[in-house]
Amino acid sequence: MGGAAAALSQKQLLSYWEAAEEASHKPTSAEVLGPFFRKGAPDQRVLRAAGDPGFPLKVSGRVLNTKGEIVEGAKVDLWHADHGGLYDTKGYKYRAKLSPDAKGVYGVDTVMPGHYADRPAQHIHYLITAPGHKTLITQAYFATDPFYEGNPDKNWNKIAEHRELVLPVKLFEGGATAAQPAHAEITFDIVLEKA
């Protein structure tokens, strides 16, 4: 063995590996809370009622720490405007406070949020808490949003503060029954920092 290889001890290799792991789970960027948060949303997975206008949307993801491990006891508050760009400021339509499952996964069945004048890009607001971790307030955006004119890489900062929050959108054709409509899906994994 040459001197260079010998100089890299097991301990150093492990620390490099840990650093690489850490870097691959960068804490999710924060964004503004906005004026429409309401406390007390129910833990409900199905936000879309039959006949709701708007394109069906499935949102899911995991709540992880910076090592990529599932965060125990996380609560995921999410809320968004309806198809017409209006928030329910009296009730809890399109609002949920979710407890992720044993695999750290949260998810809702909802509709694609509409646009509204103050913030004319589709988005979902998030507030995530977990014991021993910093509370995170952020938002998810949609790369398919016409607001980005087909080029979110160029136009993301017209509204989002962080490019990585403009998420890829998968589109699915409908199934044979009304229970399987054509829909969009986004995956938004959230990485929390230790408090």
Size of the site for Fe ion (CB under 5 A): 1
Select 64 or 190, whichever has its Cβ closest to Fe ion: 190
Q: To the nearest whole angstrom, how small is the minimum distance from the Cβ of residue 79 to Fe ion?
A: 8
Give the residue ranges of DSSP H helices in 105-164: 152-155
Q: To the nearest whole angstrom, how small is the minimum distance from the Cβ of residue 125 to Fe ion?
A: 6
Select 70 or 143, whichever has its Cβ closest to Fe ion: 143
Q: What are phi and psi of 38, to 5 degrees?
A: -130, 130
Q: To the nearest whole angstrom, how small is the minimum distance from the Cβ of residue 157 to Fe ion?
A: 17
Select 62 or 125, whichever has its Cβ closest to Fe ion: 125
Site string for Fe ion, 19-58 (x = CB under 5 A): ---------------x------------------------
**Under a CB-based contact definition with an 8 Å cutoff, are residues 164 and 146 in contact?**
no
Q: To the nearest whole angstrom, how small is the minimum distance from the Cβ of residue 194 to Fe ion?
A: 28
Select 12 or 157, whichever has its Cβ closest to Fe ion: 157
Q: What are phi and psi of 87, to 5 degrees?
A: -90, 145
d(CA 108, CA 8): 47
Select 27 or 85, whichever has its Cβ closest to Fe ion: 85
Q: To the nearest whole angstrom, how small is the minimum distance from the Cβ of residue 87 to Fe ion?
A: 7
Return the residues of window 129-158 that contact Fe ion according to CB under 5 A. none
CB atoms within 10 A of CB 157: 11
3-state SS class at 168: coil
**Under a CB-based contact definition with an 8 Å cutoff, are residues 194 and 133 in contact?**
yes
**Under a CB-based contact definition with an 8 Å cutoff, are residues 70 and 62 in contact?**
yes
- By beta carbon distance, the residue nearest Fe ion is 34
Instruction: Single out the residue of 57, 74, 75, 56 nearest to residue 65, CA to CA.
Output: 74
Select 34 or 114, whichever has its Cβ closest to Fe ion: 34
Q: To the nearest whole angstrom, how small is the minimum distance from the Cβ of residue 182 to Fe ion?
A: 25
* DSSP category for residue 7: H
Instruction: Single out the residue of 30, 24, 19 nearest to residue 161, CA to CA.
Output: 30
**Which residues are at the interface with Fe ion (CB under 5 A)?**
34
